[in-house]
Chains A and B, each alone.
Chain A
């Protein structure tokens, strides 16, 4: 499957899904006008890809500045999907990157992590400086 690359906008994140390398990332803001329209097609492609994935390693990087509650629902579904894949024997690593002084984004990452049993979830603070 071809790599998906969608540039970030003021309200939607940069999407990079490299299916060959099994490296995926969402980076930026997430409060699109229509969450289903934005995420539906790319998550659909990801689901198709993951269905066929039996083993190997997968990395998913998140570096979100803000996401609204509609986006949170998408993220929750995405994490459940990744946890299922990891449960089938794939080594799934999630890197939840957040600005070091953004406690809230750290907590939101922890909340998603709490519900995952098979994914390796790394909280990765970074600073602009």
Chain B
């Protein structure tokens, strides 16, 4: 029964072309470890450095989004003084290859109040060509870090630039406060 169950799960992943799947609390250590594994796997699988680096980059930017913004958190028990950096953030990340293209997908809980802003941002990025994305990226790198952002605020622009075959995103409401956000980028 146990083997059958896990085999069925494995088959499901295989049907989706998933090479890596992680679901759970994501820490910087998880990012480092899976990042290294993805790098090794891609260097064996593809001779095309640009594709390999692109996939790796999509992975890093998406996972850093989860670490910084997932609204599903748990404070690490070992931590005192409420240091927010040590909160554990929950999310799912998958990396795979289906029908000749690689994808990196992430999903995590966000606050419903952030949905419209995020939807508008991502929908606008989808309409921009590479040249416009480059201009916007540079503006963002030069500008002040946007409110609520813990990085350069350029992560999604970077994802849009690297996703040579575009990206999809979606939201569903979970309860009064939370929504579930998913994004999948293709190379």
A contact set with B: CB distance below 8 Å: 10-11, 31, 33-35, 66, 68-70, 72-73, 76, 80, 99, 101-105, 111, 115
Contact = CB atoms under 8 A, between A and B. Distances in A.
Contacts of B154: 69-70, 72-73
B54 interface: yes
Interface in B67-114: 85
Contacts of A34: 85
Given A72-B154, A73-B152, A102 B50 contact: yes
A115 B158 CA distance: 19
A69 B151 contact: yes
B53 interface: yes
B60 interface: yes
Nearest to B158: A69
Given A68-B64, A76-B141, 9 more contacts: A68-B158, A70-B151, A70-B155, A72-B152, A73-B145, A73-B151, A99-B49, A104-B50, A115-B138
Nearest to A33: B28
Nearest to B48: A101
10 contacts: A68-B57, A68-B64, A69-B141, A70-B155, A72-B137, A72-B152, A73-B145, A101-B49, A102-B50, A104-B53
A115 B138 CA distance: 10
B117 interface: no
A111 B97 CA distance: 30
Contacts of A101: 49
A68 B59 CA distance: 10
A74 B139 CA distance: 13
B134 interface: yes
A104 B54 contact: yes
Contact of A76 (B28, B32, B64, B142): B142
